[in-house]
Amino acid sequence: MSGDQLQSFFIADEAAMVAFGGSLAASGLGGVVFLNGDLGMGKTTLCRGIIQSAGHQGAVKSPTYTLVEPYELEDRDIYHFDLYRLGDPEELEYFGVRDYFHDNALCLIEWPEKGEGVLPPADMLLNITVQNEGRLIELQPQTLKGQQLLANLQFDSE
Ligand code: ADP
Ligand code: MG
């Protein structure tokens, strides 16, 4: 599949970012999602929206130092990665990264380029850039799983 299918959403502020995460969770988001975008774009904010909407009732911390934060929820496992501080993709092998990529898991990965060569391919590419006072999110499905999510997604940007 190529990137001929691209959908964009304008996200006005932090609250809308969290709400968009809720829509993604409700659409049955699963598989491997690469979150691209510079520091401060709102990747972790979006992950918080997804993880809390999927049933986690506590804080969602940025896994900058731990590399991955697991959330074992009622109907799915979510693994939130932040690979910003990863020196070498091989380090991922040492903590058994492959165990995280199972069928019923959602893997949200910030800074996926740091894990290139070890991470499995993404089902969905998500890119965040600045637009006016808010953000533009572009979704690009890479697999059938990604396409199905996009078909189920309901979100009204203002
Ligand atoms: P990242 O994980 O990409 O480094 P963070 O999620 O830590 O970014 O958030 C960076 C900042 O951007 C936060 O202060 C947050 O309030 C703000 N922010 C998040 N989403 C939006 C948005 N849609 N519009 C404007 N600011 C936002
Ligand atoms: Mg972050």
pLDDT tier, 4 (very low <50, low <70, confident <90, very high otherwise): low
Query: Which residues surround ligand 1 with Cβ inside 6 Å?
Result: 11, 13-14, 16-17, 37, 39-45, 110, 134-135
Q: Which letter, b or e, does each residue of 97-131 get, where b requires 16 or more Cβ atoms within 10 Å of its Cβ?
A: beebeeeebbbbbbbbebbeebbeebbbbbbbeee
Compute the half-sphere exposure of residue 131: CA atoms within 13 Å on the CB side of its CA.
Answer: 15
Ligand 1: which of 17, 47, 83 to mutate, most ligand atoms within 8 Å of CB? Answer: 17
Stretch (H or E) spanning 51: helix 43-53
Q: What is the pLDDT of residues 35-77, one digit of tens each?
A: 999 999 999 999 999 999 999 999 999 998 889 999 999 889 9
Poorest-pLDDT segment among 8-12, 58-62, 93-97, 127-131: 93-97
According to CATH, what is the number of the domain 7-152? 3.40.50.300
Atom in ligand 1 nearest the alpha carbon of residue 82 = 2
Domain ranges of the chain: 7-152
**pLDDT averaged over the chain?**
93
Which pTM does this prediction carry? Answer: 0.95
Ligand 1: which of 41, 43, 50 to mutate, most ligand atoms within 8 Å of CB? Answer: 41
CA of 82 to the centre of ligand 2 (A): 7
N-term to C-term CA, the chain: 30
Q: What is the pLDDT of residues 76-100, one digit of tens each?
A: 999 999 999 999 999 998 878 888 9
Contact 20, 136 (CB under 8 A): no
